[in-house]
Structures are given as structure tokens and as C-alpha cells.
Structure 1
Amino acid sequence: MGCSPSSPAANGPVPGHPGLTPGAAYSVIVIATLRKRPLVLAAAIVVLVAVGVVVALLRPWGGAGTTAERYVTAWAAGDAPGAAVYTTDAETAGAYLQKARDDLAPTGMTARITGTRTDGDRATSTVEVAWDLGQGRAWNYTLDLPLVAADDTPGNDTGWAVDWSPAAFAPGLTDGQRPVTRTVTAAPAPVLDAGGATLLAPTPVVTVTLDKAQVEQSASGLGSALGSIDPAITASSIRAGANAVPDGQAYTVVVLREPDYQRVRDRIYDLPGVRFVSSTRLLPPDQGFAGQLMQGARADIEKAAGGTPGWSVDVVGQRGETVRSVAGQPAGPGRPVTLELDRTVQNAAQDAVDADSRQAMIVAIRPSTGAVLAVAQNAAADRDGALALTGRYPPGSTFKIVTAYGAMPAENLTPQSPVECPGTTVIDGRTIPNENSFVLGTVPLTEAFAQSCNTTFSRLALGLPADGLPTAGKALGFGADWKIPGMTTITGTVSPATDDLQRASDGFGQGDVLASPFGMAMVSATVAHGAPVTPSLIRGTTTEAAVAPGTPDRAVLDQLRPMMRAVVTSGTARAAAGQGEVFGKTGTAEYAGPDGSNRSHGWFTGYRGDLAFATLIVDGGSSGPGADDGAVPVGRPALSDRGGTGRAAAGRRRVGRPTLVVVHPSRIPALAFVADLVAVVVFAAVGRMSHAEADSVLGLLGTALPFALGAAAAWATPWVRSAPASLRAGAVVLAGTVVVGLLLRLGFLGRLPLSFAVVATISLAVLLLGWRGISAAVARLGPRAPRPADRPGRTMGSCRPARCSSPVHRPRVARCRRTSRVRSTSASRPRRAAVAATSRRPRRSS
């Protein structure tokens, strides 16, 4: 029987070798043999290593460190699903990892494990994480990655898994929190006007956004709450806006000033899908200040006012609110920006246009520098965009400034040169009349200009070459195309004439000529300055000319200025007389209304001292001397040391320098208020008579008083004060009168029969809306007082309407082609007066 080292028989001493057991002897023999054979030793080592490798390959390679390594490798590579399989909640982890990476928007990422500690069925791997966020931005941190022993799952057979929570992404993150990379806009510096007054100031705001997927759950609640701040925000508008954004994007519902947000916070904070982001924006202290202008200029202003942008990695909560910042660099400070706007001039102009219910606008420019001092529009104009800057309308007789400038040197005329002003003239088969065919006979050119004689200037235009008017307009800045930082503008267009009729019609601003208020203000500024004027809004920026203006002839301008002065002293702009040395030109530009009716815009442009202006009232009727609600009284400039209050503002500072001042309406609102009170008294009197009640003054007053108080309450609203004779104002007065009157009557008497409420509502509606409806009908259809014209009329059925191309306003312009004699359409419509005319003279064309 053989003997092995482990057998009992082998435990005795080896014969001849006392103390040496058989096992020890076996080892000695093996070692001695290997020492004699080095190749055998090497072979044994190789075999052992090979066996270990085979065993490792044939059995799963487990361990917490392995799991951690695989997780961070996939994570760093941007493989969110691949990393998520090594977690305890693959679905949640995958979505989180992908969303967080999208929000961070890195250009690269590295993750390196520096060690793993195991304690029973739990382990922790230390990971050094480095996010490269581009543009030199980095977010680095050390992460203690938690792991737990886990059963094998598809894709993970290591026996371990990352214990998933947001803390497996970055330290300190809890459920509902995630990191995002944000650009930190420099806190903008204030924006000042030319006098140093604050126009825009850094203001805390809250942006309210809504997840498109949760619109139906929250639209009604948001609309109800936010509608109290902005009536334009409704559930329907929110649904429409959210449906218009791409899937996966949030819809920005509104940006609220902090006080407005606090008013509605409790009503909207817990609505599903609603998120809130706090920031700072440049906003005017008074909402609505130069609204259209500031809206268009905002991007350029913020660019000029902002400092160096910073960045941050913010931890945000479920609603998008910032919990804390974990990395970043603060933004550099901004610098104050000064606009050329003059707050006093702007407020005065705004008061002027706000007093008119029609679309009204004023532009004011400083001729010596080109500084834009004011751009004012009323709410009616705001609905169609920046009409004061980019609207295009026929300029009517204001374009006679250009015609006179071109004709005087071309036809060797002076202001004293005699010209013919017949009642009518026939050009290329068409009869062009003065309004009411007034006749001046042979008069100096200045008189024909001051009285706005169409027949004279149509004939003067015929004496010019085909490009005569475009060339003259270019010399005065008309047709120039400016690239003004902060403003998009159009001056106007006049094309070379293709026939005599077009040339004659262009001569008094009808034909194919189109102009903006900004463009006509630039024409007046050029006349005042005697040289090309380059407009500017943001001080320190450079205005470029895509199409440069020409250079005016100073000698011709010296002749033109006294002609413009005569328009104010003895011509169609006499309503501006007494306001100082004002130079101007009125215009009434005819166009075809949507219903084919003959309608007209009212213009007034000119300058006084170092302030040039243009006023336009869309559908404003005549601007002649007898039109006390036209463009002249609305926009007449004057030297004054007081400014207007501006829209929705009061008590602003006074600046003792020249400004644009408007005589505000007072007579018409007072009459309208009296008419409403009379309507209430009539209602009360008829009601008492129908019930055979005692005919006493005290009884009548007792019945009328509750409803009169309701009417007075309605008159306290801006909707009524801004346009008291409009049907909209009537509806507001009716609502206030009925609601307040019935409530007070119920409180006094303790009862309110339904029949009385119905009869009262109907009766007051007839009275309060009735007189306004009659007034509107008379204004539109009533007979017109005869006065001379500055535009031709239209033969019924003989005019072909054309579209006036404009990015924001496309009025239909009447272009009458060759016809027989055209009837005069001179009548002025009774309109709400913006100011009473200072004098009354026989009316001439404007």
C-alpha cells in the first residue's frame, strides 16, 4: 500500500533520518526537485494564473465596487438608461439622470471612483465628479455613492445596486430637486431720460409658466386669478397659448411684478403644472409709459444696460423655484443707460393722444441733434402696433412742404411769386378741386401754401420731372431708411411719377405717397435744422443709414420757413396761433373706408424752436382752421414750463424747459356728464309719473339719487373719462348706474321688485346709450359745413380702392383715375373736441 503525506502511517519518523516525518520529507523532495528544474516552477505559476483567470471568467464578477464602476462609467458617457440598470429604481433613475443632464447641458463629464467601503449589505463608493459646462464653466464635487446588496436584475448581475435617490447624483439633493445650469443676467442699471429722470428701473418679477400637459387642470384657475391683474388673460387665452408651444416646452403665461404676484400667489401656487421663476427686469415706474416705444427698444436697452453675464448651477424644486446655488460666477454690474426721451415732452404728448378715442399719435424730435424726445400713442393705436413709427398713411397737404421745396428752385419761384389758385383744375382728364371749389385767384405762393390750395400745388408738381418729388423728399429726409438702435422706423415712400395724374396727386399728398408720423416729424426737423438730421434714441449708440437722406438747399429752406409760419399766423393752422413762433403745415388725407365711404386722416406737422413734431389722427377728418377736434388742437406745440401727467400717472416733476403741451379737453366731458345726469333724472321723472306719484322736487331727487350716484361711480373709471361720448363709455355708465342704483334702492327700501329692475335697466339703456348712438350717427352722417379743400373728392363709383401696405396698418387709399369732374367731399364730421379752436375764420383747405 502506498503512503501519502497525510496518511497515519506516514506520521512516523523516516528511517535513517530521526525527526523527519514523511510529510516533511515529501516537501523537501518536491522543493529539491523544483530547484533543480526552474522551468517546472515557471510552468506551475503559469498554470495557477491561468486557472484563476478561467475561474474569474466562468463565474460572475461581483462586488459593490464593480457596481459603482459600471454605474459611473455609463453616467459619465451620458448613457442614462445604461447607468439606471445599476440602481434600485431603473425607471425613476433613468428619467432623472436624463432630465438633469439636459438641464445642465454639459459639454463633457468625468467621474472617477477613489475607493469603496463595504459594511455588511451596504457600501459606499467615493466618486470625484467633474462637469464641464462649456465657456470655462465647471462644477466639481465629491459624491458618496450609496450601494446596497440586491438580487440580480436584467442587466445587473453584480449582486449590488446603487441605492437610488437624487443624492446619487449630487450631494444634498432630495426628492423633487434637480440641478440646472442658468445664465445669470447682470442686474441691469437704471435707464434714464435726457434729464436724468428714471425711465426704467430694475424691478423684481416672477415669471409664471404652465406645463402644456396640465393645461386643462389649471387654465381656469390661472385665468380667474390673473384676469384680475390683466383682463386679457383668460382660461381660453391660456389654452390657446399653451397649445401653440411645442410639446415638452412650458408656456409662459405672464411676467408679474412682485406685488402683483403676492396678490394672487395663494390662488395659483398649488395649481398643477404651474411653475414660478424669480428674476429682475427693467420696468418703468409707471406702467404704460411710452409703451410701444419701450417694448420695441427693450432688447437694445437691456443689451446696453446689462453688464457681463454670469452663470450658476442652481438646485430647483418641483415648481422650478430656486432652493440654493451650488456653483457659479456672479454677473458683472451694468451701467446706466440714457435715452434721448424727454419725460416731460412724452407725458404731454401722451396726455394729448389719450384724450382722443380715435387712433392718435405724436412724434417729437429735436432738430439740432436728431434726439427722439417723444413717441406717444393712445390705446386705440396701440392695438395695431407702433403706428407712430411704422404706420404708413397718405400725408395729405403736409406733403406740400416737399412739393414747395422742389418747385421753388425748379420753377424759379419765391414766396412772393404770384400763382393761380382757381377753384378747380383739370389734369389728364380729371378735375381736381379745392374743397368747395374755393377760389383765391392770383395770390403769392405763400398765401396758396398757407390756405392749402390743391389746384396750385397739383400744377406745381406738373412742372417737376418724374423724379422731382422723390428727389425733393430725399433732401428733406423723406424716404431715408434708418437703422436706429432701439427703434424700427419708416419715414415714407414716394415713387417717380408714371403719368401726369399721379404727379399732380402726389403734389398735394394724395396719389401714391405714404408717410409715417415719424417721417413727417423728420421732414419738419430737417426744415428747422437746415441740414440732414440723424435720429437717435439710446445715447452713445450710432445710427446707420441704410438709405441716406440728401442734403437740403439752405437757400430754399430759408424761403420755405416763412411759408410754414404763415400757415399758423393766417392759414389753416390758426388754432396753434398764440402758442409762440410755431411753423407748421396741416393735412387732410382722404382714403376709402372699409364700407367704401369717403374718409380722411388729420395731420399737423411743424416745429417750434428746437422741437419738431408730427401729429396724426386716423380717421380724424379735416385739419382745417374750423376743425376743433382735429390734429392741430390735439398736437399744437407751445413753450411751457409744465409737462403733462402722462398715462396712468400723476404728480410728476416739472421741468422748466421747452416742451410739447396740449390744451386738454374740458367742455365735452362736462357736457357728457350732464347728459348722463339728465338721462337719470328723466328716467326718475317718467317712472314717478307712470305711478302717479306726487310731483315734488324732493321726491324726484330721492328717486334719482341712487342711480345718479351709480353714474358718478362709473364716471370715475378711465374707460368713461377717456372717451365719454363713445358707446363703450355708455355701457360702463349704464352698468354702474343700474347696479349701484338698484343696490342702494334695495338697501333703503328693503325690497326690489324684479319688474322694476327690468324696466329700470331697459329705460336707462335707451337713455344712456341712445344719446350716444344719435351723437355717433350725426358725427358720421350729418351735414358738413362748406370750406375749401386740400384734397380732391371722389366721384361715386369712380374710385378704385388700393391697399396701403404697412406692417401694422393697411388703410384703403382712394386712388381716383381718369374720370369726369369729381364731386367735392369736404364736409367735416362733428367730433368730440380735443380743444376749442382759439379763433373762427372762414374755412379753407388744410
Structure 2
Amino acid sequence: MAVSGALLLSGCGVFGSDDGPMDKFAAAFNEGDVAAAAEQTTDPAAARETLQAVFDGIGDTEAHMDAPDGDGAALPTEFDWTVPAGDTVHTEGTITLSPDESRVQWSPQIIDARLQPGGGIVYSDVRRFTAPVVDRTGVDLMHWAPVTQVVVDAGNLAAAGPVADAVAAVEPSITAQQIQDAVAADPAAPYTVITLRAEDLDPIRGALEAVDGVQLIEQGKLITAGRNLDSPVFGDLREYWRGELDKGAGWSLTVSNPEGDAQIGGKAPAPLDAVRTTMDLTMQAAAQRAVDARTEPAAIVAMSPETGGVLAVAQNEAARQQGPIALTGLFPPGSTFKTVTTSAALQAGVAEPDSVLPCPARVTVDGRSIPNDDDFDLGKVPLHTAFAQSCNTTQAIMSADLGPSAMRDTAASLGFGVDFVTPALTTVTGTVPVTEPGPARVEAAIGQGTVTASPFGITEMVASLANGGHMVLPMLVEGEPATADQQPPPLEPGTVDAVRAMMREAVQSGTARSLSDIDRLGGKTGTAEVSGGPAHGWFAGIRGDVAFTAFIQGADSSGPAVAMAGDFLRGTQNG
């Protein structure tokens, strides 16, 4: 696609006097003044058309014209064309004066000997669109394919019903009223109803072609390997793929005539076999099935603790309406944050895994009254039991002995609250403030108040815990890990071992025991209270080299998120 640019022409009085028509033509051309250059010719209208086509067609290509000294009916012109990549090619043309020498005898061949009336010079980038985007096993996630836009002509309200009927088999959510409203909203512009894959268009092509004022416009597009395959990461991946094509793009400079083209020069694009990602198509499909079973906004994120590779990111339609909440949505994390609070307490020596601590139904710490869910009361129990049963009051009591930055620093060691710049991936992990003694610290200890997290951020947290307490650098494109805005120290090995044991207990006999049949699973549930609505449900888990988070907005408890996590994990086993 051509973009605007400048064509540079030089020549210092080589056709006679400095103010002769050839020099005036050259000066105007140098300035990009098509009208002034054309006025120096014997056919200004034809000259304007061709010169404008040249300027429009070459984009950012620069052209330098040398015209030889001498006399004669026809003199050669020489052009060096320097394309944006820096390569230069050479062409030749011919220039003459009118019989009375008052004008340049117009001919497109001044620019190039092969240029004909109605033609121009066209620069094009050449890209290898065939390179797919693949998962970690080499299976296609996205590939370039022909698609067709279904376009209703401007103001064509009558087409709404027949078009809606035709596309109903593919996309039943598109209604005649929706099409009519869109056409009426901008009656001067055509309206694109839907873009269809070849396999979806073929059965309904005849019905669409029979509707007056409907155009089927074919184009190429990077599409997902299946109609139902989707992920919030695909938008950034498309941009990354395009950037890779741009970096390896070739080019073509062509004399483009009505009767055909002639190549001036070009370079083939660099080979690009595929963009290989860390995604796992089986996990992605299982995650998508799990979130699609929910009516509330739901998301699942999975990551490899060993490599930081993102394995799956799925959202349902209710979540998509809010944007990529799996990656950048910020919510109170609830009791999943007890992973941080407990780690901070162990690091600081406030408690040991077997320390017997009170777990009353309700407790007031630093002026903040904290209840357990449904006011359950365990009396005095070991810390690992309080963790597995998600005892809010135990966490609140421990928080009083933590330093102001203890939770923030511990979270950072697990990548939570850290900003990452990751190729092809836009994320926000969350925020963990420094808290002085008082209600804010108590609320933060149970993942409420000013603590916020994205599902990605909680996944980063448990992935780093599974990585021995060393912060994992996320990665979506293989071999291109993130850079972080800080390099926090890792957690102590004893802390990591203790918290992971507590997470396994939470699954075996605690709040996530409905998942106890899943081998090697450890995790932490979370119910996050929000003002003016039902609580959010969370479950963050580790199973082998998979760390993941299941999140359901407004689920009212952690139970639905636990069940969704089970659907995901069992789906990966069966898929």
C-alpha cells in the first residue's frame, strides 16, 4: 500500500538557461509541486495525472533525476530510486522540448522509458503472509486465509432482513434490527455486517448474492485455526506477527501501466516459517470450555513455572464485553492473597507452619473487625490448618506483627505488583501498597481494601511460588521473556516448601477439597467482597508445571471458581 512521499529531482540548468522550461519543470518537481511542473509541459492535464500518480505511488521512496548536458531532439534522463529499505535501483527515460522550445514536450517517458499514459510508479512492501502463529507443539493457532466481508450498501435498509436470515446459521446474534440501526446511523457509508471464513460463506453465498445492494468483498486476514478459538492474547499476537513480517519485508518498485506492469527492482522477503508461542492448544481449548460454561464474567490463565511461558488465557463472552480482564482487569484477590500474607509471616519469623494460632469467628485488629466466612470458629489450630480452611481471623492477627512493607515486598518476590514488558503480551499484575498499622493493613492481609490483582497477576504469583520462590519472567513468544521493572530477592526455600504444603492441604482437606481427586494439585481459594454486588470467586493452583488461576466475577463465593478450575484441569487430562 502506497503512502505519501517525496520524489526528488535535480538538475542545474543542464537543458539550457537556468530559467528555461526544463529547469522550471525540475524545480517544481523537486518541490513536489505537481501543478507547477505540469504547467511547464505541452499537456498540463495529462502531465498532472501522471506526475500525481508517481508521487502517490512511490510512498517513501526517493528518486533522483540526472539529465545530461547537450543538445538534440531527445536527451536521456536517468533516475536513481532509493526505497525505504535503503536499496537503490536505476531507470532511464527521455526528455525533449516543444518545437518552439517554450515547453517540455510532455511524455510519461520523461520519468521512465516504459511508462505509458495512465500509468505510474508504484512502491510496495512484500511480506510473506503464509507464516502461521503456532502453539508450543507446532500446531496452528492462527494462519493467513481468505475471508469475505458482507457489506450492505449505504442507506440500504431493505437488505437487513435477508442478510440477517442468511447469516443466522453462522452468527445468530446478528438481527435485522441491528443491521437497520447500523445502516440508519450512518446512511452515507456502507456497513460491514460480518467477515466470514470460506467454510462459513460457501453454504450461504448464493443467498447473499441474491440480495440487492449487498457486496461480498474478498481479502486476506490472519484468522484463528478454529472459529471458536479465541484468547485475549491474540490481539497483541497479531500485532507482533505483523511486526515480524515488517522486519523481514521485501520490496517491489514497478512501472504500473494500464496494459501491464514492468518491474524496476525488488527484494524477496526474509524467510519466516512461523511465530512460535508458548501457548498450549489443548489447555486453551479446555480453559475456553470451562469459562464458556459460566454466565458470569469468567477467566482462566495458565502459565509454566519452569519457563514463564503462558499456556492458556481464556475469557467468556461476558468477560470480553469488559475487555481483556484476564490480563489487565484489577479486582480484590480475597483469600488467594493469604499466600502472600502467610509467606510474609514465615519470612519474618512471626509464625511457623505448626504454630498454634487462634481462629475465632471474628476478631478486631488495629480497629478493624474481621469475620470468618459464615462466622466459622476453629478455636486454636496450627497455621497450616488455618490456611487450608481459609481462616481470615488468623491472617488478621498475624498481620499486626508484620512491617509496613512486608506484604508488598513478599508479593514482589512472587512477581505480584511487578510491571512486566513482554513481547506480544500486555499485562498488569496488581497493586500491593505499603501499609502502616491500622485497618488498611488488616484488610490487605486478607486480600481486600487497596490490594488489587488481575487473574494474570495471581497466576504469576503462584507460578513464582512453584519456581522455588524466584520471580518468573512471563513469556508468550518462545525465546522472548519479559523484562521487569524490579529484581526482587527470592523467598527462602523453607517458606516456599511450607506454603506449597499448605496449598496441598487446602485441596486435600480444606476449602478446595472438591478437587482432591486431582493428583499433585495444590491451591488456594478466594472470596473477595465488593461493595454493591456479590463477591468475586477465585482459585489459584499449582499442578506439576502448570500454575493457573480461575476467576469468576460476582460468583458470590469461591465455590464456582473451584468447580471451574476442576473443569479446566480435567479437560486437559481428557483433551
Instruction: Say which of 57, 63, 72 aligns to 1:108.
Output: 63
Where do 1:709-724 residues align within 5 Å?
none
Which of the numbers 442, 458, 467 marks the counterpart of 1:520? 458
Residue equivalent to 1:599: 534
The amino acid across from 1:617 in the alignment is: I
* Cα 1:77/1:639, change in 2 over 3 Å: closer
SS of equivalent residue, structure 1 residue 128: strand
User: Are the equivalent residues in 2 in contact too, given 1:484–1:543 (CA < 8 A)?
Assistant: yes
The answer to whether the aligner puts 1:133 opposite 2:82 as a matched pair is yes
Change (3 A) 1:409 1:384: same
Alignment of 1:26-425 (within 5 A): 74-75=28-29, 78-87=32-41, 89-91=43-45, 93-105=47-59, 106-110=61-65, 112=67, 125=74, 127-134=76-83, 135-138=85-88, 140-143=90-93, 162=105, 170=112, 177-187=119-129, 189-204=131-146, 228=167, 282-287=222-227, 289-304=229-244, 308-314=248-254, 326-425=264-363
**Contact in 1 for aligned 2:155/2:188 (Cα 8 Å):** no
Cα offset for 1:182?
1.6
Deviation at 1:528, TM superposition (A): 2.1
Distance in 2 (CA, whole Å) between partners of 1:182 and 1:237 is 35
Instruction: Assess, with a 3 A threshold, how the Cα gap between structure 1 residues 322 and 277 changes in structure 2: closer, same or farther.
Output: farther
Residue 548 of structure 1 aligns with which residue?
Answer: 487
CA shift at 1:323, angstroms?
A: 6.5
Cα distance in 2, alignment partners of residues 489 and 343 from structure 1: 21
SS at match of 1:530: coil
Distance 1:176 1:98, change over 3 A: closer
- The question of whether the paired residues in 1 share the 8 Å contact of 2:94 and 2:111 is answered with no
1:622, distance to aligned residue in structure 2 (A): 0.5
CA contact (8 A) 2:550 2:565 kept: yes
The 1:636/1:260 distance shift into structure 2, 3 A limit, reads closer
Output the CA distance in 1 between the equivalents of 2:427 and 2:122.
Answer: 40
C-alpha displacement at 1:305, in angstroms? Answer: 6.4
Compute the displacement of 1:275 (Å). 13
Paired letter, 2:248:
T
How far residue 536 of structure 1 moved from its aligned partner, in angstroms, is 1.4
CA-to-partner distance for each residue in 1:672-699, whole Å, 9 max, x for gaps?
xxxxxxxxxxxxxxxxxxxxxxxxxxxx
Quote the residue 2:551 is aligned against. 616
Compared CA separation, residues 399 and 301, structure 1 to 2 (3 A): same
Cα gap change, 1:87 to 1:289, in 2 (>3 Å) = same
Give, in whole Å, the separation in 2 of the partners of 1:71 and 1:253: 49
Q: 1:188/1:636 Cα in 2 relative to 1: closer, same or farther (>3 Å)?
A: same
Gaps of 5+ in 1: 1-60, 119-124, 150-156, 245-249, 645-658, 663-846
AA aligned opposite 2:47? A
Conserved in 1, the CA contact under 8 Å of 2:363 and 2:370? Answer: yes
The CA deviation at 1:339 is 0.9
In structure 2, distance between residues paired with 1:82 and 1:400: 75
Instruction: Using the TM superposition, give the Cα deviation of residue 299 of structure 1 relative to its aligned residue in structure 2, in angstroms.
Output: 2.7
Q: Is contact 1:221–1:267 with CA below 8 Å preserved after alignment?
A: no
The CA distance in 2 between the partners of 1:599 and 1:324, in whole Å, is 68
- Structure 1, residues 495-545: CA drift from partner, whole Å, max 9, x if none? 111341111111111111101111111221222221312221111224211
Q: Cα gap change, 1:79/1:507 in structure 2, threshold over 3 Å: closer, same or farther?
A: closer
Q: Is the 8 A contact 1:342 1:374 kept in 2?
A: yes
How far did residue 570 of structure 1 move? 1.6
Residue matched to 2:426: 488
Q: Which residue in the other structure is 2:390 paired with?
A: 452
How far apart in 1 are the matches of 2:137 and 2:44? 63
Alignment partner of 1:636 is 2:566: yes
In structure 2, the CA distance between the partners of 1:554 and 1:660, relative to structure 1 (3 Å rule), is farther
When residues 109 and 452 of structure 1 are mapped into structure 2, their CA distance, relative to the original with a 3 A threshold, is: same
Alpha-carbon distance, 1:585 to partner: 0.7
Point out where structure 2 has 5 or more consecutive residues left out of the alignment: 1-14
CA distance in 1, matches of 2:452, 2:355: 29
Aligned residue pairs, count? 545
Q: CA deviation at 1:373?
A: 0.9
Question: What one-letter code is carried by the residue in structure 2 that aligns with 1:610?
Answer: D
Other-structure match for 2:373: 435
Going from structure 1 to structure 2, the CA distance change for 1:322 and 1:661 (only over 3 Å counts) comes to: farther
User: How far is the alpha carbon of 1:139 from its aligned partner?
Assistant: 5.1
SS of equivalent residue, structure 1 residue 538: coil
Secondary structure at the counterpart of residue 547 of structure 1: coil
Deviations 1:302-348 (A, max 9, x none): 44466632111246699xx9967553222222243321111111111
Partner of 2:11: none
The verdict on how the C-alpha distance between 1:638 and 1:224 changes in structure 2, with shifts beyond 3 A counting, is closer
Aligned residue identity for 1:600: A
TM-score (norm 1): 0.56
Name the CA shift for 1:433/1:290 in 2 (closer, same or farther; >3 Å). Answer: same
Q: 1:132 Cα shift? A: 2.2
Structure 1 194/350 Cα, relative in aligned 2: closer, same or farther at 3 Å?
Answer: same
Contact 2:540 2:550 in 1 (8 A): yes
- Structure 1 counterpart SS, 2:232: helix
After superposition, what is the alpha-carbon deviation per residue over 1:624-675, rounded to whole angstroms, capped at 9, x for unaligned? xxx4xx10011127776xxx5xxxxxxxxxxxxxx4779xxxxxxxxxxxxx
* Greater Rg by CA: 1
Conserved 8 A contact 1:187-1:333: no
1:471 equivalent among 389, 409, 433? 409
CA change 1:204–1:638 in 2 (3 A) is closer
CA shift, 1:96, in A, is 4.2
8 Å contact 1:189–1:306 — kept in the other structure?
no
Q: Under a length normalisation based on structure 2, what TM-score does the superposition of the two structures give?
A: 0.80
Give runs of aligned pairs for residues 647-796 of structure 1, distance below 5 A. Answer: 659=572
1:288 Cα deviation after fit: 5.1
> Cα deviations across residues 475-513 of structure 1 (Å, max 9, x unaligned)?
222212222111111222111113411111111111111
Q: What does residue 833 of structure 1 align with? A: none
TM-aligned CA distance change 1:78 to 1:139, over 3 Å: farther
Residue 574, structure 1, aligned to residue 513, structure 2 = yes
174 and 591 in structure 1: CA distance in 2 versus 1, 3 angstrom threshold: farther
Q: Does 1:503 find its partner at 2:445?
A: no
Q: Report the AA paired with residue 419 of structure 1.
A: L
* Deviation string, structure 1 residues 604-629 (Cα, Å, up to 9, x no partner): 00111111110101111101xxx4xx
1:447 offset after TM fit, Å? 2.1
Deviations 1:122-178 (A, max 9, x none): xxx4643415234444454444679988xxxxxxx75777467x6776566667654
Distance in structure 1 (CA, Å) of the matches to 2:113 and 2:195: 33
CA distance in 1, matches of 2:272, 2:435: 52
Range with bigger deviation, 225-234 or 507-516: 225-234
Instruction: Give SS of 1:556's match.
Output: helix
What is the identity, as a one-letter code, of the residue corresponding to 1:504?
A: V
Relative to structure 1, is the Cα distance of residues 439 and 116 closer, same or farther in structure 2, using a 3 angstrom cutoff? Answer: same
State the one-letter code of the partner of 1:636: G
Q: Quick check: 2:360–2:378 contact (8 Å CA) kept in 1?
A: yes
2:82 maps to a residue whose letter is L
The alignment partner of 2:363 has SS state of: strand
Q: CA deviation at 1:556?
A: 1.3
